[in-house]
Structure 1
Amino acid sequence: MELFEMCPVCQRVCDVQTRRMGTFLSVEQLCPHCQFSRLWNSQPIVRSTPAGNLQLSTSVYVNGESFFKLEKVLKAINLQLFEYDTFLRHAKMFIEPAIVSNFKTSQEMMLRRLSEEDKIIPGGDLWADSPGHSERSGSHTTMDLKINNVVDIPLFKSDEVGGSCQMEKEGLERGLALLQEHGCLDDLMALIFDENFVDPAPFKEEILKVTITEDLCAQDERPVKEEVIESFVTQVKTEAF
């Protein structure tokens, strides 16, 4: 704060007031002698929100980091940080709408490109909140396997689709419906029956020709269970005495 203590005009002591808002610092300097004044901000302000605070919230949010871990680190080196409620407000008002808008723009461009191609290779899988058959919510990722780009990520709950066993099917239907709606799949039935379900007869004949050798343990004599138990008990008694 030494830079603001002296007036640059009359070289006298000035009145200095500071204001903090998270990582934002504002310094107001006023000279009572010559009435010189100036205001200095440590970072730009975007619609009453310090840009540095918003950038820090964005970096934490998009990288999946923990706000509380960051808070501990900054506290250890004596740096100011905004409250957790401010972080949640940044996420709700700025970060999440920006992510959704950017994804929708990229999705429209990708679907437009896929609709111009002769053949695409769609793929997808379900991610659920718990393993097994007890998941309550999940998201199904639909991808273009040629370039490994995500086309859509629909979210749904198990009670919306008739149970957890129907979640995988529901995600597949939604993904294919989106592709078909934008003209990416000219013939959905051809995709399912002609391109995915290949005639397995030639492969079955080749597999049956493969000889399966016996396990290595089958080449040795199998001991009698009672004899093994008796020998073990005898050994224990001998060691005891």
Structure 2
Amino acid sequence: MTITGEIPSRLADDNAGFSNIKKSIPCSFCNGFPGLEHLVGMPIDDITILRTENFIVIPDIAPLLEGHILIVTTKHYPCFGAMPPEHLSESIAIKRQVKRMLTSAYCAPIFFEHGPATCDGLAGACVDHAHLHCLPVEREFFSLIAPGHNSEQISSIAQLAEYTKNGFSYLFYESLEESLRVYPLKAETDDIPSQHLRCAAARIFSISKWNWRDIIESPDYEKVMRPRILKAVDLLRCTVTE
């Protein structure tokens, strides 16, 4: 596995980018993030923070806070728990690198994921392509997650595969102290609303607008969000070479 912050003029290598994904798949992540490119006004190469053979780190299209970024799989899986074991192992190193970067540029991050077991919108996911949110914060919000649902502590993100294998969707949360919690969800008891984790974070930080769809349609997106995204990309890219 090679982690690099060097961004090529185009992500043309099948093992580095998304050209190995069939364009017929109706997934904006597989098709190279056209929405993000359009809104930010740059090709995805120019706003990619980090990449490996199986992962790409990019800014969130509607960051809740400056420095809000995503770790995205280069191949299409519904969640991290559905990835091959070797990819899950690699994700641990990626997550560790991202934590160092965010801590250097902003502050320590929490990580969270809506983990649908299949590509059908379960677990509050509105994009069925595996992506882990990385949010630099100074306060936790796990107390607001999935009220009425049980949670379990795990020791490694690699254990998410056990839930997916057994037919569970899940919510995943990693605290500032690196405590990992999973909220297992069976289809018949999955009442998690769309973007539940974004909403929970917004409540803690008194952010009035948390729905990414509303944010990207906001008339001040270009004036407010675009500079926030580009500043974060520049700062985080600098930390890659430190």
- For the criterion TM > 0.5, the same-fold answer is no
> Rg larger in 1 or in 2?
1
More helix by share: 1
Between the two structures, name the one with larger relative contact order (CA 8 Å, sep ≥ 6). Answer: 2
